[in-house]
Structure 1
């Protein structure tokens, strides 16, 4: 018998979807990192090549975390585009 529009494909559970499985570790690590960052409220001196800056520790940690996320995104993007070129 032909399928009608009311019949649907089998529903995949939310946690087994590929997008959720990739995003879940990122969300967990981000939450832990943000808790760690905002628990460290002391002011510290940070040397930025030549100038020395006094800033809250959470600000320095947040900057380092953001730079790490950018480096990771850049690396993942380059790796995926490199694999696409090899397959041609």
Structure 2
């Protein structure tokens, strides 16, 4: 009996799947970043162009991390199939 593509996916180990291999470094770096962010609880003065605000350092780090994630989401584009491009 011929093996189908769904049978092949069922036998692929979880950590060998391309989606998991691509996501694992992101999860690891995010976990380390969040631990670093929430360990810094002191209040600091931050200048936002003109006003100066006092806020916990973890809040400022969390805002910066979130803005970085948003920037990454906008700049990283995934093509559906990058190997099927037609030569011109």
Which structure 2 segments of 5+ residues have no match?
Answer: none
Runs of 4+ in 1 over 4 A off after TM superposition: none
TM-score (norm 1): 0.78
The structure with the largest helix share of the pair is 1
The one-character-per-residue Cα deviations of 1:9-53 (angstroms, maximum 9, x if unpaired) are 460000010110111000000000000000000000011111111
Residue 71 of structure 2 is matched in structure 1 by: 71
Aligned residues: 78
SS state at 2:41 partner: coil
Distance 1:32 1:73 in 2: 19
- Partner in structure 1 of residue 33 of structure 2: 33
Say which SS state the counterpart of residue 54 (structure 2) adopts. strand
Specify every segment of 5 or more residues in structure 1 that has no aligned partner in the other structure, as ranges. Answer: none
Q: Which residue of 2 aligns with 1:61?
A: 61
Following the alignment from structure 1 to structure 2, what is the Cα–Cα distance between the partners of residues 53 and 25? 34
| CA root-mean-square deviation | 2.1
